[in-house]
Amino acid sequence: MYIEKNTLKNSLNALYGTAGHLLKIWLVLKKMGLAQGAEAIEIDTSNSKPSLDRLFSCGSNSGDFYVPFAHTPRYLKMKHDASRSIVQTTIQRWGSSGSVVTCDPTQYLNISQENSKLAVKTGRQYPMGLGIGESGFALDDETRVSLPLRAFAVWYGRNTEIPSGIDPEKYLIDEMLADLHISSSERNLIFVEDDLEIKTQDNELTNEEIYECCESFLSGNESPSVLVYKESQTTYTRKVNSMVSRLDLPAWMRTSPEEELHNLIKDGRTAILILGPPRTGKTRVIDSIVSRSSSDRETIQIHDGWGYENLIEGFMPDAQGNWDWKPGPLKEAIESGKEWIVLEEINRTSISQSLGEVFSLIEDSYRGEDNSITTRSGKPFYIPEDVTFLMTMNTIDKSTEDVDDALIGRVSVVEFPARSEDLVHMLQSLNIAESLVEKISQLFSEIQEIYPLGHGYFSGLTSSCDNQFFLRYYKSRIRPVLFNFLGELQSAELDRIDNLVDEMFGIQ
């Protein structure tokens, strides 16, 4: 199956005038791999040509390109040499003077000269600034970029073969987002939902048919008829903060904690502390690495006040009243050959004291029989090199013990903070409507200012969630947690969140 001609024509009508024409540069960079934390994209006189072809080829006999979202015939067309005359030249001007006409994306894109090529990568606070105002590739200040998602996916898939039995809309959107490396936050800043009807046909559109669809716009016979999306800087800033956490930190401090944990294990680290507030995914990511039901894993839930005798070994009576040394669950797990030992909530006790002389063996460099020690029972004991300890710690529960510096110095640490990105991903996986995802994530961002609420507290939402469902859910599941933390002395903060919930989800 392929896109049929009228569907393509309708998509061009929906796209006309939805963004500043220089958004084409950003899309080319995205096609070439521009992404948060990725290596810089190198630009020379010709290497953007394949990306231009994929994004903007229109069947022109002269090899010219068509920019479907531009707002005037002048900007709808690019000459065949655009790789040099437009892409390279425009980026060069941004990097040297900070502006081309009124567009200056250098607040969120870093541009430098490396050897004979230009290098472009995301800035420290990316994507803040993308998608709003002229410098964010919108038509005017106080407006936002508003590419209709389905319409642009149709344009991008103008020559794409759609497998039979597959929903064309989902297939084209997924292909476009993946091929352009569009993140969840970029999607929300650049695209808007639309209801374009997508029809298919058996044959691929010819170059002549594609160019014919573009021609009426190029000739000036069509005028933009799209809705202009107004957006204040305050609203925009709240939205970005609700999608990308901790923009005040360097990009390397904002990487996915799941990715960090996987990298540490890949690097051979065998003692890792995973710390963060409740419901931020600490245990879930461990379960994804090694199943709870695996015979290679032992999970030990630490209880309040546990000592050495509870964890390692204790001198205690058996059922007949005979006293002897009995191994604790951690020693048993090691001696029975477990490869993965999960210690849940080690902050519930003084873990260093509970480990006793075994404490030093946790460290990577003190593993193996050569580092054997004698435990209190008088028996030799060591931890094999291939045993991996994954320890979790709740950083919010102030009624429990602090983990001391001696342990921190012996393990690798991964912080699992409350992150908007994880919330958005979870809500989307639950098939929550995008309009609700946006509102819930904005509320989540506001809550973070007073309490590091984990995204897992929202896991009970369902695809049938609407405003009224969410109000009930907030009142019964979220608000009690906030009240328990804030108490009567900080009731004004809770009132502020309640009022925001009413503003966003209440009956107007």
* 362 pLDDT higher than 80: yes
Share of the chain above pLDDT 90, in %: 75
Q: Which residue has the higher pLDDT, 136 or 353?
A: 136
CB 65 within 8 A of CB 80: yes
CB 379 within 8 A of CB 327: no
Nearest Cα residue to 147 out of 18, 17, 12: 18
* Amino acid, single-letter form, for residue 70: A
Nearest Cα residue to 145 out of 94, 192, 77, 75: 192
Average pLDDT, the chain: 91
Identify the pLDDT of residue 400.
55
> pLDDT grade, residue 245 (50/70/90)?
confident
Identify the pLDDT of residue 219.
85
182 phi-psi bin (left φ>0, alpha ψ -120 to 50, beta other): beta
Of the candidate ranges 144-158, 248-262, 273-287, the one whose mean pLDDT is the lowest: 248-262
CB 42 within 8 A of CB 28: no
Identify the pLDDT of residue 488.
76
Identify the pLDDT of residue 504.
92
Which DSSP category does 37 fall into?
A: T
Dihedral of alpha carbons 465, 467, 473, 479, sign: positive
pTM, rounded to two decimals: 0.78
Nearest Cα residue to 172 out of 185, 156, 186: 156
In this predicted model, what pLDDT tens digit does every residue of 76-88 receive, in sequence order? 999 999 999 999 9
* 508 pLDDT higher than 60: no
477 CB-near residues (< 8 Å, 6+ apart): 457, 460
Structure tokens at 335: 């001696």
> pLDDT grade, residue 100 (50/70/90)?
low
330 CB-near residues (< 8 Å, 6+ apart): 300, 311, 312, 341, 343, 355, 358
Which residues are registered as beta bridge partners of 148? Answer: 192
In this predicted model, what pLDDT tens digit does every residue of 306-319 receive, in sequence order? 999 999 999 988 88
* 98 pLDDT higher than 60: no
Asked if the bond preceding 127 is cis, omega within 30° of 0, the reply is yes
* 423 pLDDT higher than 70: yes
Nearest Cα residue to 55 out of 28, 29, 79: 28
Write down the residue that tokens 């506001």 correspond to: 446
SS3 191: strand
Q: What is the mean pLDDT of residues 398-415?
A: 77
CB 394 within 8 A of CB 347: yes
Burial label, 378 (beta-carbon count in 10 A; 0-12, 13-18, 19+): exposed
Q: What is the 3-state secondary structure (H, E, C) of 403-452?
A: CCHHHHCCCEEEECCCCHHHHHHHHHHCCCCHHHHHHHHHHHHHHCCCCC
In this predicted model, what pLDDT tens digit does every residue of 454-500 receive, in sequence order? 999 999 999 999 999 999 999 999 999 999 988 877 889 999 999 99
Q: How many CA atoms lie within 13 A of 81 on its CB side?
A: 4
Angle formed by the axes of helices 233-243 and 420-429, to 10°?
80
Share of the chain above pLDDT 70, in %: 97
CB 311 within 8 A of CB 329: yes
Q: What is the mean pLDDT of residues 113-124?
A: 89
In this predicted model, what pLDDT tens digit does every residue of 15-44 receive, in sequence order? 999 999 999 999 999 999 999 888 999 999
Structure tokens at 481: 């947690």
Of the candidate ranges 97-101, 186-190, 191-195, 273-277, the one whose mean pLDDT is the lowest: 97-101
Identify the pLDDT of residue 373.
94
Write down the residue that tokens 């051979």 correspond to: 268
What is the helix (H) or strand (E) element at residue 315, kind and residue range? strand 313-317
Write down the residue that tokens 């894993």 correspond to: 297
Q: What is the mean pLDDT of residues 352-356?
A: 89
